[in-house]
Structure 1
Amino acid sequence: MKPDRLWFHRGDFLDCVYRLFTRFWLFFLILVLCFPAIAATPRFDFTLENIRHPVFSIRSAGIKLIGAPSPTLEINLGEVAIGKQTWHGLRLRCNPVHIDRESMNCNTGTLQIGERFMTMIFRLSLQHKQFVLEIRPASNKSKEKWRLEVNWQASKWQGVLQVVNGEGKFLADLLPQGDDRIQVHQAILNGNIRLSGNNASVSALSARLGISKLSFSDASGLHAGEGIDLQLDADAQQKRNDWQWRGKITWPEGEIFWQPFYFSGEGHQLTARGTVKDERINITQGEFNLAGTGKADFSAVAGIADQSLQQAWLSARDLELSALFGSIIRPLAVDTALAETEAAGQMNIDWRYQGNDNQELIVGLQDVSLTDAHGRFAVERLNAHIPWNSNEKRDGSIRFSNAQMVGIPLGETYIPIGTDGMRFSIPRAEIPVLDGKMLIENFVASMQASGWQWQFDGLLAPISMEKLTESLHIQPMFGTLSGTIPRMSYANSIMTMDGELVFGIFDGVAVARNLALSGPLSLTPHLTMDMAMYHIDLDLLTRAYSFGNMQGRVDVEIDDLELINWEPVKFDAKLASSAGDYKRRISQAAIKNLIALGGGLAVTAIQKSFLGLFEQFGYAEIGWSCKLRGSVCNMGGIGPATHDGGYMLIKGSGIPAITITGYNRKVDWPELLERLRHAIESGNPIIH
């Protein structure tokens, strides 16, 4: 796991530029001193075709000095290239220019850089050992000013660049840009930069700069900023063979979108100090203060030549998780359920990086709460200590006071965690669920080439179905839910189950097999499985749903069940009377509800006349089937009816007996569910 490569300017760039222009001015002054009659010369031209350096190159550099009637100086640079950035047609013109043995002065000059024209004055005094250059826009309305002053004594020199309302876009366009360049649309600079040194080397520098109204973007639209204000305060000084530096950046206003993150300036501050030595930048002490979130202390060492991070350390205490979650964690989890989760509490982080890899990460949580916006899960008073080391085994733990999953409450839980490199384990954990519990054993997660993989098995202790259905806000059911959880595995974003999950329900047995869940933490999980229920007590089932009373036993098979975002889109379901000898009765209310669900005439006229006379009827067999494809259910029954092309749902038997026949083969599934809900809630079904 390697971080992105870093980018640095070569440190000798300023030295190269300084040497070039120092030699240029010395050459020109020697020329003037050696030939005093030049003032009377009508014209003097000097041209350099090529000046090459590994960092920059200049082509067609020309100097013109016209001595009469008014001294005029022209300097033209046909092409200047630094890296991949090239400028054409740089021109300096001064009319008049005053030149003597001690000085060169220009009080009325122009500077052309590309298509931009600026007014300019400069003074070079050998007597006072001073050079002053002042540049302003050609427009009189602008208050922009750039002023450079250089003073020297013997081999020592110092310079100050003062900027007043400097146009940052113009400066950004002049600087070298990479292929993924950020386009600066607007920026205003105010402040100063001071440099000092010996001969052609820089030995100290300081900067006090304010940047306001900064806006930028790139071509992809993945990086942009608007209305940004920044303050920079930095110093650097050479001590023998290394540089010692310190700096502070404050961000009080503005907005930045850096895919996938969004930040707004609220007084965030970055301070750091360190050294530059032996082609390495060393941050010995750093602090990043994120307003509203907390602060982090850090240190780092980065190589200049290979542009890489060599080692780093970071420590943060009592970070406000609500702000951290909103700005950093949620954007990284955009395709998961965490993308719509609110968080509160505090977080601690310790991180160590060395040798081109992560070495240690320790995460601590204090009184954290997590709440899903859709009510799918919630955790209260979560405390955790999760240590990780790339080469050593570590022990940690997770504890929470209470939680809920899809409305089902979970009690206070303690979960021990073991880490060993990229392997995480939970030997055993008991999670209280209502009046029962879920046991998780042998949980192991590891990072493989294809991504994270994990597996576990467990047990579901008896849970009251009445309490469970009350938590799920559905019609009450009776009995208990319990069973063995076979080996559950997760790989390639798919969770699968080895074997069968068996549990008791409605005094019968339910079996789930061939379970596969894709994207369990995504916003659209995809579940496929087969399910069967055997010997289900109809009395318990119909009593739970206020559907009317039915007595008997049924078997249910649901093959090729497919749910997307927990909504069924496909299955082949079949319900039939269980084999065996048991009481088979159906109440008048249940018959009326079944007829209402059928959506059509379901009993003969003679049988219909008996509905008001008897409370219960006998039957021999019950059967129903549904093949769901999308939102359409293709329905069937025990077999074809004797007339009218229908299908038999209930075959009557005994006295009184009743037979119910269905006619609609294709039924809208959402409409069928709505009919069922209405029949249960109203208790007053309509017979069509």
Structure 2
Amino acid sequence: MRSPSRMPALAASHYRKILTLLFSAAALGLAFMLAAPEVGARELRVAIERVDAGTARAEAVAMRLRTGATGAEPVGLTVEAGLVALPALALHLDRVAWTCERVLTLEPLACEGPLQVGGRSAGRLAVDLSEARTQAHWSQGRRSIRVDKDLASPWRVAAQRIPLAWLEDFAKQLWAGGRLGAGTVSGRLTVPAGTPETRVDADLRLEGLAFDTPDGLLAGAGLAVPLTLRYVTTPASAAAPERTRLTLRGALKAGELLVSPIYLAVPAAGVGLQLDAESEADGGWRLSHWQWEDAAALTAVGDASLDAAGNVTALAARWRSPDLAALRRSYLDGVLAPAGFGELQLAGQGSGAFGFDAEGLSALDVDLRDAIAIDPKGRFSLAGLDGGVRWSRDSALANSRLAWRAAALYGIGIEAGQLDFRSSEGQLALAAPLRTGMLGGHLRLDRLLWRPARGEAPLRIEMGLALEALDLGSLSQRLGWPDFEGTIGGTLPNALYERNRVSFEGGLAMQLFGGEVRIDDLALERPFGVAPSLAASVRFQDIDLAPLTGAFGFGEITGRLDGRIRDLRLVDWTPVAFDARLLTDRNWEGSRRVSQRAVQDISDLGGSGLIAGLQARLLRTFDDFGYDRIGIGCVLKDNRCAMTGLKKRGDGYVIIDGRGLPRIEVVGFRRSVDWPTLVSRLKDATEGDTLRIE
């Protein structure tokens, strides 16, 4: 049973047929009583089982008509109905009762009095019927509905502050998945009479509008929406099903709107809206035209299709932004933040187009003019972006080009360049390799392929690149490393991004310190998200120890280093697990010397190191020592490092196995070392703390 105050704004426009029938019966009864002998007060009772006027229906109708003995005394009229239904508005009112308090006359038929619905007060209703005109006025506090019609005009309805919650059932006929909440509607409607179709023309203002969907992907709050509306329903026929056409022109003037993942606080200047839609036989909607006009940030036009639940099944749009900074502030927070770019700064101008259907993205066109993109976290920056990309899932397109004046990756500058793309077979690929300057050498991008998600297949990005003779000193400075010298180069044959994970097929090979560093089984999860995770295995071959230890300030060691780090895993770029082992090359025929400083630093790593073969007090007498081999290992697990060396020696393990005279041997005794403590010792050693000889 409806609340008595839940009387919809359009309800009065459907009362005419019912009221005409009821008042016609009342008029006949009144005429009969006025013509009868004056024998005292008279009362006429009429019972009607059902009144059906198509757009309105009343059941269990009872009417009582009273007049005085002379016929000139006030007349009373009470109309009751067990049910009043307006199917077009999905409205059912139970236990409706209306009592007239004014004199009822034959010409015109006029009556006014209190209205009840469901046994509770529902305001006042006044009706004035004549041959030429029909009027009805309902009011309750600040709420009101006025209906007016003459012979030559359509029904006219004026509404004031009608709660939108009253229209929820009607709204579900247009949008099955939507739920109306707070807000009111005021305005005027016209409804032509005597036509087979139902047509409503409205000039309305919604205030404080709130709505949402059960999945929370679409919602609004506090919205102010002035609009004009045409709603036309053509009845079904043998040749065609029922069709509803909707035309809307309006604006958003205040409030908040969520069209997930986009959240918008309506700007002070407002947003213009246009919509032309037609219902589909399956209960969905075809939007032949929609337009969004936010002059400061985003203008978009297009078409779309919605299913019966209100889900978008197809969408095509053309867009333009005169200010990408305003576009980012107003619309892109909900898109960029989950991808790890919540603080991305944009500037410049942009335009383009895109299309979606049931399988995903079907077309993409982006054109940029003097655009800038800066990641405050320092991961990348791009300046002077011009040109764009064009891609289609189903057809081949002419090549496109995107150029930049300056760029940087993790603080590493990249010279001006351009990327040429071709779109074919549903993927966007690099049309020609890129070679541009970087750190005194070159960055070469040999291959780039982008294929968006389609159905169950995820987004896929493939890339192959190479680094040519980059200045290692400049790289070290930008990455905060020790002052390395020399050059670095390497190849990455194939990097694959899929399901928020980057894997590097074929490994990464780099020439470093006269040897080679090879990284295999490299995988990066959530590269731009929260707590990125990296897994890899690393191999070292013939690394020249002299420049390596000199760069780190770790004393000085000559010779060559081999080693491996297996099952390396970093979370948020911090090591949490690995199995590492570093060994000098036993077959190296050159000099194998270790400085006094390096001996002490290595001894500290082993914890309570025992320097054998010489008394500790004699260590300061010599600058360096010969060695046969140096080896150290660490298995990191649960923030503890299990230490090993070249071989066992009593309760310890040998780290430096000396050779020649003066002979030196370093033995470590601490088998399990707290990882933060070990890192602290490494930091002390490389930052050049004063040499301690005990």
TM-score bucket (shorter structure): 0.7 to 0.9
Give the aligned residue type for 2:547.
Answer: L
Listed as ranges, the matches of 1:191-202 within 5 Å are 192-200=187-195
Is 1:95 matched up with 2:100? yes
Change (3 A) 1:301 1:41: farther
From 477, 483, 486, give the equivalent of 1:470.
477
Question: By how many angstroms is 1:524 displaced?
Answer: 3.5
Q: Which residue of 1 aligns with 2:570?
A: 563
Partner of 2:156: 160
Q: Is the 8 A contact 1:268 1:291 kept in 2?
A: no
Which residue identity lines up with residue 18 of structure 2 in the other structure?
F
**Aligned pair 1:364/2:367, yes or no?**
yes
1:147 counterpart (145, 148, 157): 145
Going from structure 1 to structure 2, the CA distance change for 1:308 and 1:495 (only over 3 Å counts) comes to closer
Query: Higher mean Cα deviation, 43-52 or 432-441?
Result: 43-52
> Is residue 2:652 matched to residue 1:646?
yes
Shift, 1:636, TM fit? 0.7
Between the aligned partners of 1:401 and 1:19, the Cα distance in structure 2 is: 65
What do the CA deviations read for 1:458-512 (whole angstroms, capped 9, x no partner)?
4321112111111111101122211333233344444333334322111111222
Distance 1:310 1:500 in 2: 41
Cα pair distance change 1:206/1:173, threshold 3 Å: closer
What letter is aligned with 2:271? Q
Distance 1:567-1:81 versus aligned 2 partners, 3 A rule: farther
303-312 or 59-68: bigger deviation: 303-312
Greater Cα offset, 562-571 or 599-608: 599-608
CA distance, structure 2, for counterparts of residue 83 and residue 203 of structure 1? 9
Work out whether 1:436 is the aligned partner of 2:441. yes
Give the partner amino acid of 1:226.
Answer: A
Q: Which residue of 2 aligns with 1:8?
A: none
Task: Note the residue ranges of structure 1 that are not aligned, 5 or more in a row.
Answer: 1-13, 138-143
SS in 2 for 1:32: helix
Query: Aligned partners of 1:651 and 1:456: how far apart in 2?
Result: 45
- 1:217–1:225 contact (8 Å) kept in structure 2: yes
Higher deviation after alignment, 278-287 or 463-472: 278-287
Asked if 1:531 corresponds to 2:530, the answer is no
Q: What is the DSSP-based 3-state SS (H/G/I as helix, E as strand, rest coil) of the residue aligned with 2:341?
A: helix
> Alignment partner of 2:586: what SS?
coil
Partner-residue secondary structure (3-state), 1:579: coil
C-alpha displacement of 1:395: 0.8
Report deviation, 1:446. 3.2
Structure 1 distance, partners of 2:562, 2:259, is 57
Please say if 1:629 is aligned against 2:637: yes
- Does the aligned pair in 2 maintain the 1:232–1:247 contact within 8 Å? yes
Partners in 2 of 1:175 and 1:307 — Cα distance? 12
**In the aligned structure 2, how far is the partner of 1:601 from the partner of 1:309?**
69
Q: Give RMSD over aligned pairs.
A: 3.9
Mapped to 1, the partners of 2:285 and 2:167 lie a distance apart of: 26
Q: Distance in 2 between matches of 1:593 and 1:432?
A: 39
Aligned to 1:483: 490
- TM-score, normalised relative to structure 2: 0.83
Partner amino acid, structure 1, of 2:541: Y
SS at match of 1:539: helix
CA separation in 1, counterparts of 2:27 and 2:65?
16
Q: 5 Å matches for 1:231-270?
A: 231-234=226-229, 247-266=248-267, 267-270=269-272
- The answer for the alignment partner of 2:237 in structure 1 is none
Residues 150 and 157 in structure 1, CA contact (< 8 A), matched pair in contact too: no
| Greater shift in the superposed pair: 303-312 or 609-618 | 303-312
Deviations 1:315-348 (A, max 9, x none): 3334422233344444234432334422222210
User: Quick check: 1:574–1:625 contact (8 Å CA) kept in 2?
Assistant: yes
> Conserved in 1, the CA contact under 8 Å of 2:226 and 2:251?
yes
- Aligned pair 1:547/2:543, yes or no? no
Over 3 Å counting, the alpha-carbon distance change for 1:25 and 1:250 in structure 2 is same
Match for residue 342 of structure 1 among 314, 327, 345: 345
Equivalences for residues 189-588 of structure 1 within 5 A: 189-190=185-186, 192-200=187-195, 206-216=201-211, 223-234=218-229, 247-266=248-267, 267-272=269-274, 287-290=291-294, 292-296=296-300, 298-300=301-303, 314-351=317-354, 360-389=363-392, 390-427=394-431, 428-447=433-452, 449-580=456-587, 581-588=589-596
Whether 1:65 aligns to 2:64 is yes
The equivalent of 2:181 in structure 1 is: 184
Distance in 2, matches of 1:273 and 1:357, equals 23
Q: Is the 8 A contact 1:596 1:686 kept in 2?
A: no
3-state secondary structure, aligned to 2:620: coil
Describe the shift of the 1:226–1:602 C-alpha distance in structure 2 as closer, same or farther (beyond 3 A): farther
Contact 1:274/1:281 (8 A) holds in 2: no
Shift of 1:97: 5.2
Q: Return closer, same or farther for 1:578/1:51 CA change in 2, 3 Å cut-off.
A: farther
What amino acid does structure 2 have at the position aligned with 1:101? L
- Describe the SS at the equivalent of 2:113: strand
* Letter aligned with residue 261 of structure 2: P
**Structure 2 spans left out of the alignment, 5+ residues:** 1-7, 35-40, 69-74, 235-242
Distance change (3 Å), C-alpha of 1:259 and 1:31: same
Question: In 2 relative to 1, CA 602–415 (structure 1 residues): closer, same or farther, beyond 3 Å?
Answer: farther
**What SS does the corresponding residue of 1:110 show, helix, strand or coil?**
strand
Paired amino acid for 2:396 = E
Residue type matched to 1:460 in 2? L
Q: Deviations over 1:623-677 (max 9, x none)?
A: 0001112422111111112x4x111111122222221111111122233222212
2:474 alignment partner, SS class: helix
- Mapping for residues 20-39 of structure 1, pairs under 5 Å: 21-35=15-29, 36-37=31-32
Structure 2: distance between partners of 1:530 and 1:452:
26
| Cα pair distance change 1:332/1:305, threshold 3 Å | closer
Give the Cα–Cα distance (whole angstroms) in 1 for the partners of residues 193 and 56 of structure 2. Answer: 25
Contact 1:483/1:503 (CA < 8 Å) preserved in 2? yes
Q: Secondary structure at the match of 1:23?
A: helix
Match of 2:677 among 655, 659, 671: 671
Partner residue in 2 for 1:9:
none
The CA distance in 2 between the partners of 1:670 and 1:381, in whole Å, is 44
Instruction: Work out the CA distance in 2 between the residues paired with 1:170 and 1:409.
Output: 62
User: Shift in Å at residue 426 of structure 1?
Assistant: 0.7
Q: Does the residue aligned with 2:687 lie in a helix, a strand or coil? A: helix
Helix, strand or coil for the counterpart of 1:548? coil
CA contact (8 A) 1:215 1:225 kept: yes
* Cα deviation code 1:604-623 (max 9, x no counterpart): 59531112222212222100
The equivalent of 1:611 in structure 2 is: 619
Identity value in percent: 20
Q: Cα distance, 1:222 vs. partner?
A: 5.3
Q: 1:79 to 1:654 in 2, by over 3 A?
A: farther
User: 1:394, CA displacement in angstroms?
Assistant: 2.6
Residue aligning to 2:37: none
> Which has the larger displacement, 570-579 or 219-228?
219-228
Amino acid at match of 2:560: R
Amino acid at match of 2:570: L
- Paired letter, 1:388: W
The alpha-carbon distance between structure 1 residues 305 and 559, as it changes in their structure 2 partners (threshold 3 A), is closer
Between the aligned partners of 1:209 and 1:278, the Cα distance in structure 2 is 26
Q: Given residue 675 of structure 1, which amino acid in structure 2 is its aligned partner?
A: R
Alignment partners' CA distance in 2, 1:288 and 1:464: 50
1:393 is displaced (CA, Å) by 2.7
Report the AA paired with residue 64 of structure 2. Answer: L
Shift of 1:17: 8.1
Distance 1:325 1:38, change over 3 A: farther
Task: State how far apart, in whole Å, the 2-side matches of 1:392 and 1:511 are.
Answer: 39
Segment of structure 1 superposing worse, 168-177 or 397-406: 168-177
3-state SS in 2 of match to 1:611: helix
**Residues in 2 aligned to 1:65 and 1:438: alpha-carbon distance in whole angstroms:** 94
What's the counterpart of residue 3 of structure 2? Answer: none
